Structures are given as structure tokens and as C-alpha cells.
């Protein structure tokens, strides 16, 4: 799919002062993620000179009211080691606040008066996606969109393929594709970006990164938290839309993509798009066989009793929203023929972990007496809670005989690189300001992901089945174990 550039874009880093304009400036995302990230970027000199940050929201606040909100709701999420009174005062000095109702044209006139005409305007839409079209229409009508402007769109971008296409088309009427930054914070994680170097900067992995040398790939994003205050949003969204359609499929793309010809943004995103288009679409029978939906019930997490999903505040009685998904995906190309990809995500699970596990194939024949009794070699790329890369292999146990035991070659990235590591949102915000598009989704990439996920959603809805129950504090329904067992495999924590 060719994406036209309706508006000619300037250089990647125009020499302009920055106006960062945050829609939803009084929301949870801004308070917990965006403002702390901007503080760290400011503290370390990564914001352009003469930067201004303009927060917007529906509340009738003054600037002092907004600074009070920042002190109460955002300051506690700043790294305590980096927080100083002088640093925070200098940071809050960058701020202004403008009251905006998304559909009120007069409010945008107020924003136009505050924003500088010679500035690089970055519009961060930390709002519900159903407001994206209205906001972009009003920005354009108010003369705030020029050839330098950039817009950042938060997930979820739509709730299905049609709504995602509608948003993309509407935003694309005012912003060129090279001005649109569809953000997925997982792509800002250091270990995810390091995966590109691991794959394409090391000769030892290149020849082995394919069938038949890789037996399976597992991608897990497990959370111990429940839905909390997001119940209203989550019940309409579910784990498949919230996590699989974006985060997990993006990780799958980086694992499975062919080597790009360069690190140019479109060269990288072209290869990711090929992976998404190579994913085999599931039929209704395959959805029933190769996917597992779950919903947590009351249990204990980290030794504390927790409620089940249906007992959470603001969850409708009898809700069928899934809080857990496991699925078996297949990629129809030569590199990955017959290699199963298992994706899994859930809330209220046994432990918080995000990791990619590459399981290499067994030796065709082992001369070591007990060699066949151990699991094969695994490369474990952990994204959280710690960032590390482990190569699991076999070594001889000290002593006489040839008894083998599994050992790990462990690269702890936090110990290997002692300098400060920027958080994902900070890194991605700096990329937006500097015009780096590599770690943001392109329109055709996003729509290809929705096209693959949509048959799964439709099949679940048509079946009328409830999600399978799983006790909070476990790794999901027993059916997820059976899903991998059919391939004579186990999940990493069971190995």
C-alpha cells in the first residue's frame, strides 16, 4: 500500500523552538508517563532550546491549577534519584495550560494564540481514539498544522480494521504519513531495540535464525495487576485488542523480519509489514483450536488476596471480556515454515514478566549419554522486570563421567552498561522531536495487524463462548498449557 504525502515535510530536525502540545494533559497517561519522561528529557538536555509544553484539557484550570496537578499526580512518578527542587522548578517553568473541549472551535483559537507561529509543533493525542479525527480537523481549521508539525497517536488506534482505517484516513487529510507517529511504548524499550543489533549485528545468530534450526518462539507479556481504574476501557477492549494487536505483534515482527537493507525507517517497516502479511489467517475452526481466552477469578498474587474480574469496580455483570490470551501463530514463508509462534498475555498472572524465548532445535543425534534428557538451547530475551539476554546451553558437571547440566550465559544489560538508561516513553518522545520514525508504526503496518486479528475477534463473537476461568496468581487457563503441548512443547516457566 502506497501512502501519499499530502503535505511536503521539512528536514527531520528543523532548527525551530519546540511547542509540545499535550491533549489529555490532565489524564492518567500524561501524569504517570508523559510528564515524567519529559522531565527526564529536559533534565538531560534533550529538549530543544526555548521549549514550551502546553497541556490541554476540559477542566477550567489556570496555569497554577495545572502545576498543582503536576505536583500531586506526576511528580511522584519521577525517578527519585533525578528529582531535585531546582530541576522540577525549571521544568514546570516550561508549562502553560489551555482549556480545550475537543469539538469547540473557539477553544482552538485560544490555543493558536498561545502557540508560537515559528515553532515545531508536536501534538500528542493522549485521549480516547474517537477524538483523534475531531482534534486533527480542528487543528487544521485553526491554522496550527504546517509542514513542520507532527502528531503522536496513542493506542488503541481503533477497535477493528474499519475504525483504524477511518482514523488513519481522517488524520491523513491534514498530516503527511511522515508527520504521523503511532506510538507503541514497547518499541522504545532498550532490549527491544537491542534485538535488532542482536539479530543483525552478530554473525553467530544469522545462519541459525530460521527453520529448521529454531524449533519454536514464545512471546509472553504477563502482568500481576488487575484492570484497576481502567475497567470501563478494558471491558470494551479486552486483552487481544489491548496487547496482542500492537505490543505482541510488534515483538513478533522484530523477531521474524528479514534483514532490512538499512536502518532507514521505511526499510525497517517494510520488512515488518512483510511479516504481518505472511501471518496465516485463521479460519473459525483454527481459532477454536489455536487460541485460548481467559478471565481471572479471585485468587492470590504475591501472597495477597485479590478479586476476580467480575468483582472489579465498573465491570458489567456477566462480562465476556478476556483478560488473558494465548495463541499459536504461523508465518507462511520459507524462513519460518512449520515453526510455531506462541503469543501469550494476561492480567493477574503469577509474576510480572515480558520475554521472548527462542528455542533452538535439538541435535539430530547426541553422543552424550543423558544429552537427550535436557531441554534444548534457548535464547531468552527479557524485557521486564529486568533487561537481560540469556543463552541457555549444556555444560559438563564437574567430576568424573559426562553428566551434563543446563547453564546460562547471562548478559545483564543494566550491569553491562552502567550509564543511565532512558525509559521507553522518554526515548520515543526524543525520537518524535528529532524526526526519527523507525520505532513508530506506519499506516499499512497497523492495518495489516488489524486484518490478522479481526477474524479471531469475529470467531470469538460468533461462538458465544465465555472466556475460560483461571485463578488469579497462576499463568492462565490449563488450556494454554495444552495449546503448546500439542507441539510437544512447554511454556518457558514449566521447562
**Whole-angstrom distance, CA of residue 236 vs CA of residue 232:** 7
**Distance of alpha carbon 490 from alpha carbon 470, whole angstroms:** 18
Q: Percentage of residues in the chain with pLDDT exceeding 70? A: 95
Provide the sign of the torsion angle of the four alpha carbons 391, 394, 395, 398, taken in this order. positive
- Taking the C-alpha atoms of residue 32 and residue 42, their distance in angstroms, rounded to an integer, is 16
The confidence score (pLDDT) of residue 8 equals 35
Q: What's the pLDDT at 386?
A: 81
Q: Which domain-ending residue is among 131, 166, 182?
A: 182
Q: In Å, what is the CA distance from 240 to each residue of 185, 323, 416, 459, 460?
A: 17, 8, 35, 13, 11
Residue 166 has pLDDT above 70, yes or no: yes
The pLDDT, as a whole number, for residue 16 is 87
Count of domains for the chain: 2
Judgement on whether residues 220 and 139 belong to the same structural domain of the protein:
no
176 and 195 inside one domain: no
Domain closes at, from 121, 154, 182: 182
The answer to whether position 454 is within a domain reads: no
3-state secondary structure of 13: coil
Strands 180-182 and 150-153: parallel
344 in a structural domain = yes
CB-CB contact of 406 with 375 (8 Å): yes
Residue 378 above 80 pLDDT? yes
Is 135 found in the same domain as 40? yes
* Beta carbons of 255 and 217 less than 8 angstroms apart: yes
Confidence of residue 62 (pLDDT cuts 50, 70, 90): very high
Which cell is 95 given? 508549562
Q: What are phi and psi of 55, to 5 degrees?
A: -90, 140
**Which residue range is the domain that position 34 belongs to?**
18-182
Q: Is 338 a catalytic residue?
A: no
| pLDDT, tens only, 94-140 | 999 999 999 898 999 999 999 998 899 999 999 988 899 999 999 99
In whole angstroms, give the CA distance from residue 275 to residue 449. 10
Q: What is the pLDDT of residue 11?
A: 40
Burial label for 279, CB within 10 Å (0-12, 13-18, 19+), is buried
Q: What is the pLDDT of residues 224-242, one digit of tens each?
A: 999 887 788 889 899 999 9
Crossing angle between the packed helical segments 132-141 and 161-172, to the nearest 10 degrees: 10
Does some domain include residue 249?
yes
Give the distance from CA 267 to its chain's centroid. Answer: 20
Quickly state the pLDDT bin for 5 (edges 50, 70, 90).
Answer: very low
- Is the preceding omega at residue 212 within 30 degrees of 0, hence cis? yes
Distance of CA 376 to the CA centre of its chain: 29
Q: Does residue 54 carry a pLDDT above 50? A: yes
In a domain, 457, yes or no: no
d(CA 205, CA 46): 34
Relative to beta strand 299-301, strand 304-306 is antiparallel
Position 12 scores a pLDDT of 47
Strand 341-346 and strand 324-329: the pairing is antiparallel
Residues 162 and 217 placed together within one structural domain of the fold: no
Question: Which one is catalytic: 174, 247, 328, 439?
Answer: 247
The DSSP element (H or E) to which 468 belongs, if any, is strand 468-471
Percent of the chain with pLDDT over 90: 74
171 and 191, same domain (yes or no): no
The CA distances from residue 418 to 154, 190, 412, 422, in Å, are: 31, 13, 10, 12
- Give the lowest-confidence range in 101-105, 343-347, 413-417: 413-417
Residues 140 and 155 in one domain: yes
pTM, two decimals, is 0.91
What does the pLDDT look like over 242-259, one tens digit per residue?
Answer: 999 999 999 999 999 999
- Output the domain CATH number for residue 24: 3.40.50.720
Q: 91: alpha, beta or left, given left = phi > 0 and alpha = psi -120 to 50? A: alpha
Residue 95 CA, distance from chain mean position = 28
Amino acid at each position: 500500500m502506497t501512502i501519499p504525502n499530502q503535505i511536503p515535510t521539512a528536514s527531520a530536525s528543523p532548527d525551530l523552538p519546540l511547542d509540545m502540545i499535550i491533549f489529555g494533559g490532565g489524564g492518567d497517561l500524561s501524569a504517570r508517563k508523559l510528564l515524567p519522561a519529559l522531565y527526564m528529557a529536559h533534565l538531560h538536555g534533550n529538549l530543544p532550546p526555548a521549549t514550551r509544553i502546553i497541556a490541554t484539557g476540559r477542566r477550567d484550570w489556570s496555569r497554577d491549577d495545572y502545576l498543582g496537578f503536576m505536583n500531586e499526580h506526576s511528580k511522584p512518578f519521577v525517578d527519585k534519584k533525578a528529582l531535585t527542587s531546582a530541576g522540577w522548578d525549571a521544568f514546570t517553568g516550561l508549562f502553560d495550560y489551555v482549556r480545550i473541549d475537543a469539538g469547540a472551535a473557539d477553544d482552538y483559537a485560544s490555543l493558536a494564540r498561545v502557540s508560537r507561529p515559528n515553532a515545531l509543533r508536536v501534538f500528542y493525542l493522549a485521549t480516547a481514539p474517537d477524538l483523534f479525527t475531531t482534534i486533527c480537523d480542528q487543528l487544521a481549521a485553526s491554522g496550527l498544522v504546517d509542514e513542520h508539525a507532527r502528531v503522536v497517536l496513542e493506542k488503541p488506534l481503533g477497535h477493528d480494521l474499519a475504525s483504524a482505517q477511518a482514523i488513519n484516513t481522517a488524520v491523513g487529510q491534514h498530516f503527511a504519513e511522515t508527520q504521523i507517529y503511532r506510538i507503541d511504548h514497547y518499541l522504545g524499550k532498550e532490549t527491544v531495540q537491542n534485538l535488532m543489533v542482536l539479530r543483525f549485528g552478530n554473525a553467530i545468530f544469522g545462519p541459525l535464525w530460521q527453520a529448521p534450526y529454531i524449533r519454536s518462539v514464545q512471546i509472553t507479556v504477563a502482568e500481576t495487576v488487575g484492570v484497576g481504574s481502567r475497567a470501563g476501557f478494558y471491558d470494551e477492549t479486552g486483552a487481544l485488542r489491548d496487547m496482542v494487536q500492537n505490543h505482541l505483534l510488534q515483538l513478533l515482527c522484530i523477531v521474524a523480519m528479514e534483514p532490512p537493507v538499512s536502518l532507514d525507517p521505511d526499510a525497517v517497516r517494510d520488512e515488518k509489514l512483510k511479516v504481518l502479511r505472511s501471518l496465516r489467517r485463521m479460519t473459525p475452526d483454527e481459532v477454536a483450536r489455536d487460541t485460548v481466552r481467559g478471565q481471572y477469578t479471585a485468587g492470590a498474587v504475591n501472597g495477597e488476596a485479590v478479586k476476580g474480574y467480575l468483582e472489579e469496580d465498573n465491570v458489567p455483570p456477566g462480562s465476556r471480556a478476556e483478560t488473558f490470551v494465548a495463541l499459536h501463530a504461523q508465518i507462511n514463508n520459507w524462513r519460518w515454515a512449520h515453526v510455531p509462534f506462541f503469543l501469550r498475555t494476561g492480567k493477574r498472572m503469577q509474576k510480572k514478566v515480558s520475554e521472548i524465548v527462542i528455542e533452538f532445535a535439538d541435535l539430530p543425534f547426541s553422543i552424550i549419554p543423558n544429552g537427550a534428557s535436557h531441554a534444548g538451547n534457548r535464547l531468552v530475551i527479557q524485557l521486564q522486570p529486568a533487561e537481560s539476554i540469556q543463552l541457555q546451553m549444556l555444560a559438563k558437571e564437574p567430576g568424573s563421567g559426562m553428566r551434563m547440566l543446563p547453564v546460562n550465559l547471562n548478559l545483564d544489560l543494566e550491569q553491562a552498561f552502567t550509564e543511565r538508561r532512558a525509559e521507553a516513553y522518554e526515548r520515543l518522545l526524543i525520537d518524535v522531536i528529532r524526526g526519527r520514525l523507525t520505532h513508530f508504526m506506519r499506516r499499512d503496518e497497523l492495518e495489516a495487524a488489524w486484518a490478522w486479528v479481526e477474524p479471531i475477534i469475529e470467531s470469538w463473537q460468533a461462538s458465544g463462548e465465555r472466556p475460560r476461568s483461571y485463578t488469579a496468581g497462576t499463568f492462565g487457563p490449563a488450556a494454554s498449557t495444552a495449546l503448546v503441548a500439542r507441539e510437544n512443547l512447554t511454556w518457558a516457566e514449566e521447562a
